[in-house]
Homo-oligomer: A and B are copies of this chain.
């Protein structure tokens, strides 16, 4: 079998938005992303510590959707590796010329086995890193793109696909019968580049950006309240059990979900322990025991295939949202956790 391409990290997403001005308000005016380039029908944005051309493309279209998730590979030669690897896997594979996406060099685009439109690239236009441009940084400054989170009906098979691609598993949500409800997978030395969330899919659950400190996350909430736009806050802020990160989930004007995320942990050693969470431990998604709002489990963005058509949706056999909530409508605390072998920080 051919080696998989050597992926460095989650690098950019391209979202289809229906109202570019509304999207600009949300991503630029509220979230403070930096505009690298602007076209009639597209915005190319980056965060303050990024030096590649963009980590987010907003492109005007008729229906909100995910057009592409971009992974950066270690070397231009990895494009050939990717082409060969995915051709052998039997999924659609296309070469994209430099500039097919503004600021991105030669690329290989595929529809991956779990249904997502993925681009691999190495070359990209460099821009100035605004790390120390504090005079331009708002109180909710975002540092960089951190990860993607996708909804899939079969987490186990998606997990296998990604670990074959060379991703490590930092954390999972499981049950005693070996069902896998969610998984966090990484290439760079953070908790994840991609998370797999069980549910109707393939769909994009969210894109996450990192800030340095928690008060920066809180300020986004305060801004949205001040602007009477607090309805863009879907869930949080709070502390994740999984990843230990401090989080906030927003919905953009088209309903795309954006997470602001901070202070997860280092995973760069080869023996980094995988942490398994019991699906019944109500601290797994909110370490403070807060109920997950129903929309967070139910709603996600349509994904497009390489021709720009919506990818059909399948449903999972089991849903975490049903398994983890008792008859009273509340999450269940984990009784006798230590005896069952699942616990906080249980390391496989």
Residues of A within 8 A of B (CB): 8-9, 30, 49, 51-52, 72, 74-75, 126, 128-139, 141, 143-144, 188-189, 212-215, 218-219, 221-228, 230-231, 233, 237-239, 241, 244, 246, 263, 265-266, 268-271, 273, 282-283, 287-290, 333-334, 337, 344-345, 347
Contacts and interface: CB of A to CB of B under 8 A. Distances in A.
A347 B226 contact: no
Contacts of A213: 212-215, 263
10 closest A-B pairs by beta carbon, nearest first, are A230-B289, A134-B222, A139-B139, A225-B287, A134-B226, A221-B288, A212-B263, A135-B226, A134-B223, A213-B213
A234 to B, nearest CB: 10
Given A8-B269, A9-B269, A239-B221, A231 B333 contact: yes
Contacts of A241: 132, 225
11 contacts: A49-B266, A128-B345, A131-B265, A134-B139, A139-B219, A214-B214, A222-B239, A225-B289, A228-B333, A230-B288, A233-B289
Nearest to A224: B288
Nearest to A334: B228
Contacts of A273: 51, 126, 129
A222 B226 CA distance: 25
Contacts of A133: 226, 345
A221 to B, nearest CB: 4
B72 A269 contact: yes
Number of copies: 4
B268 A188 contact: yes
Contacts of A141: 139
Given A129-B273, A129-B345, 4 more contacts: A144-B266, A189-B189, A189-B268, A228-B337
A134 B51 contact: no
A219 to B, nearest CB: 7
B134 A137 contact: no
A282 B230 CA distance: 9
Contacts of A138: 138-139
A169 to B, nearest CB: 15
B139 A137 contact: yes
B9 A230 contact: no
A309 to B, nearest CB: 33
Given A188-B189, A288-B224, A132 B345 contact: yes
Contacts of A233: 288-290
A239 B225 CA distance: 9
Contact of A214 (B134, B218, B282): B218
